[in-house]
Amino acid sequence: MRTNDRFLLGILVGVVLLVVAAFAVVLSRSEPAYRADDSPAAVAHNYLLALQRGDYERAYGYLSPTLAGRPASVEDFVEDTTTRIGDNIADAEVAIGETTITGEVAVVKVRQSTFYSGGLFDSGLSATPFSMTLRRGESGWRITRSEMHWYQCWEDPDLDWCREPEPVKPVAP
């Protein structure tokens, strides 16, 4: 065999090994699972996982009961989440980061990664960091605010866009 042929064969074998290794890594990854609701990070993880799985009843249970504009029912929560927020978390990968606890309030850092088809020199990855605020209450840690996957009217129903529009009154002739 000539030197060039061996070199090309080596490159080909290397590429095949990389492809096999990539498939092995992807296939060996386990499905995310719910965690015990005993920490702010676990509650944040469970809320986001419930949204990803479409388990809106479980996700709704993680909202703080003290929210001024908390949806009155799971059905209202689903409407807010799917219609008003336009949430698309199903195709995202979420990683829970650092948690800072000060008294009864915790801030959990989260990183959401979304993959898309990019160009030749594009990584095809969009990473967005955000934070979630939780408060410890009688029922444990509950979410009071989030920078993503959240409807602002839940925490502040007095915002202009949160109010129902006034009905238009017909003008008398």
Output the pLDDT for position 101: 98
Residue 129 has phi, psi (to 5 degrees) of: -85, 145
DSSP secondary-structure letter at 104? T
Confidence of residue 89 (pLDDT cuts 50, 70, 90): confident
Overall residue count recorded for the chain in this entry: 173
CATH topology of domain 34-158: Nuclear Transport Factor 2; Chain: A, (3.10.450)
DSSP, collapsed to helix, strand or coil, labels residue 51 as: helix
Q: Which residues pair with 92 in a beta bridge?
A: 114
Query: Can you tell me the distance from the alpha carbon of 134 to that of 64, in angstroms, rounded to the nearest whole number?
Result: 8
11-68 per-position pLDDT tens digit: 888 877 776 665 655 555 667 899 999 999 999 999 999 999 999 999 999 999 999 9
List of E strands, 103-146: 105-115, 125-137, 140-146
